[in-house]
Amino acid sequence: MVASPDNNADGRTEEQKAIDEWLPITSSRNAKWWYSAFHNVTAMVGAGVLGLPYAMSELGWGPGVTVMVVSWVITLYTLWQMVEMHEMVPGKRFDRYHELGQHVFGNKLGLWIVVPQQLVVEVGLDIVYMVTGGKSFQKIHDLVCKDNCKDIKLTYYIMIFASVHFVLSHLPNFNAISGVSLVAAIMSLSYCTIAWGASIDKGVQPDVEYEYRAENAGEGVFNFFSGLGEVAFAYAGHNVVLEIQATIPSTPEKPSKGPMWKGVLVAYIIVALCYFPVAIIGYWIFGNSVSDNILISLEKPTWLIVLANAFVVIHIIGSYQLYAIPVFDMLETYLIKKLRFKPTWYLRFITRNLYVAFTMFVGIIFPFFGGLLGFFGGFAFAPTTYFLPCIMWLSIYKPKRWGLSWTTNWICIIVGVMLTVLAPIGGLRTIIMQAKDYKFFS
C-alpha cells in the first residue's frame, strides 16, 4: 500500500507539519546542550532567590537549611525523571508537559491534571516577575535620585518593565530567545554574588536576632507554612523542562536526554551556587529583620546595589520570556487546532500583546511580593515540581514495591503533598495581612 503524498513518515499531514513548524515549542530543534544549561538557570533562578533569606527567617536555621537541601535533591531527581520520560516511547517525543500527562493519565484527564497547574505556575510567575521588575526599577530610582526627586508610583515602574515584553514577546521560539536567556543566566549569577558579597561586606548587624519573627505561636506556624511556599517557588523550572528539551535534536543513536541532562547538571550546580550562599549568608547577616527581597535590605554601597537591581531587571526579562513561550504555545495551539484560525503574524501579535497586558494589569493590582511567592509556591509549584513527575514515573515503570525507586518516589510524593497543602495557607494569610493597608494603583 502506497502512503498518500501529503502524509509524512510520522503520520502527520503536510498541514499538521506546517502548524508544528510554526508553533513556538516545535518550530526549532537545533539547540546545543549549553542552551539547555542557561535556559534552565534562567528558568530556575528568578525572583525566588531574593526571597530565600526571608524564607529562612520564617523557617529558622535548622528547618530552613534542611528544607533548602531536601528541595534541591528532590527537584534534581524529579528533573532527571522528566528528562528520561521525554522520549520513553520509541519514535515519539513528549514536547510539552501536558503531552506527557496525557500519555500517563489519558487524553482528557491528563489535560485537566497538568494544564491548569502549569498555567498557574507560568502565568503566576510572569505576574510576579512584573512586580519584581517594577520594584527593582523603583529601587534603582530611589537609590540614584535621593534629593528633590519626584515620587513615582510602583504602577508606572511595572508599566515600564512591561513595555520591554511588548517587543520581546514576538520572538518566535526558545532558540530565538537563547541570547536573551544567556545574558539572563549571567545576570542571575552576578546579582546573587552581589547579594551575598555585599551582605558579608555589611557585616552581621548589631541587633541581629534569629528567633522566629512571629509575635505568637499561631503566627509562627502561618509564617513557617509561607516559608515552605517561598522555597518551593524557587524551584519552578520543571514547568518548562520538556519544552526546553523539545528544542534539542534527537536520533535513536543520540537521544536528546544526553545533552539535556548535561545541561541540567550544569544548571543545578549554578543554582546551588546562587541559592545557598544568598539564603544562608543573607539570614546570618540580617536575621529576622531581613526584607522579603534581600536587595531591599542592602542600601550600601549604593553603586553596587543599583548594579544588582539592574541585573535583576535584565535577568527577569529573560525569565518572563522563558515562562511566557509555553503559554503562547498553548494559546496558539488552541486557536489554530481547535478554533481553526490561520497561523499568521497578526494572530501572534494580538495574542501575545494581550497576554503581556494581562500580566501587567494583574501585577499592578496585586503587588504583594512575599505573599504571592508563598501562595503560588505551594498551590501549583509543589505538584508540578516535587511529586507529579514521581506519580507519572510510578504509573509508567511500575517499580517493585518497597524497592529503592518505589520508596524514593513515595517519599517525594509525601513531601510534595505536604508542601501543596501547607504552603498556600501561609501565603494567603500574608496576602490578606498586606492587603489591609493597600490602596489600589498606588
Q: How do residues 149-187 score in pLDDT, each as one tens digit? A: 778 888 999 999 999 999 999 888 888 888 888 999 899
Does pLDDT of 421 surpass 90? no
Question: Please, how many CA atoms are within 13 Å of residue 10, restricted to the half-sphere of its CB?
Answer: 9
Does pLDDT of 422 surpass 70? yes
Does pLDDT of 442 surpass 70? no
The tally of domains found in the chain comes to 1
In a domain, 3, yes or no: no
pLDDT confidence of 272, banded at 50, 70, 90? very high
Does pLDDT of 293 surpass 90? no
pLDDT averaged over every residue in the chain? 84
In a domain, 291, yes or no: yes
In a domain, 16, yes or no: no
- pTM of the entire predicted model: 0.86
The pLDDT value recorded for residue 6 is: 36
Does pLDDT of 5 surpass 50? no
Amino acid found at 137: F
The pLDDT value recorded for residue 353 is: 95
In a domain, 91, yes or no: yes
Kindly list the distances between the CA atom of residue 324 and the CA atoms of 100, 291, 410, in Å, as whole numbers in the listed order: 20, 28, 32
Greater confidence (297 vs 200) lies with: 200
Contacts of residue 185, defined as CB under 8 A and 6 or more positions apart, other chains included, come to 37, 38, 41, 42, 45, 270, 315, 318
Distance of CA 379 to the CA centre of its chain: 14
The pLDDT value recorded for residue 8 is: 44
pLDDT confidence of 2, banded at 50, 70, 90? very low
Give percent of the chain above pLDDT 70: 90
In a domain, 12, yes or no: no
The pLDDT value recorded for residue 409 is: 95
In a domain, 8, yes or no: no
In a domain, 386, yes or no: yes
pLDDT confidence of 251, banded at 50, 70, 90? confident
Q: CA 195 to CA 305: how far, in whole Å?
A: 8
C-alpha cell at 26: 516545535
Return the minimum-mean-pLDDT range out of 80-94, 270-284, 302-316, 427-441.
427-441
Q: Render pLDDT for 349-372 as a digit per residue (tens, 0 to 9).
A: 999 999 999 999 988 887 765 556
Region 422-441: mean pLDDT is 69
Q: CA 327 to CA 115: how far, in whole Å?
A: 10
The pLDDT value recorded for residue 3 is: 38
pLDDT confidence of 376, banded at 50, 70, 90? low
pLDDT confidence of 30, banded at 50, 70, 90? confident
Region 206-220: mean pLDDT is 75
Return the minimum-mean-pLDDT range out of 146-150, 166-170, 394-398.
146-150
Q: Render pLDDT for 91-116 as a digit per residue (tens, 0 to 9).
A: 888 988 999 999 999 989 999 988 98
CATH code, domain carrying 202: 1.20.1740.10
Domain range enclosing 210 = 31-437
In degrees rounded to 5, what are phi and psi of residue 303? -60, -35
Does pLDDT of 9 surpass 60? no
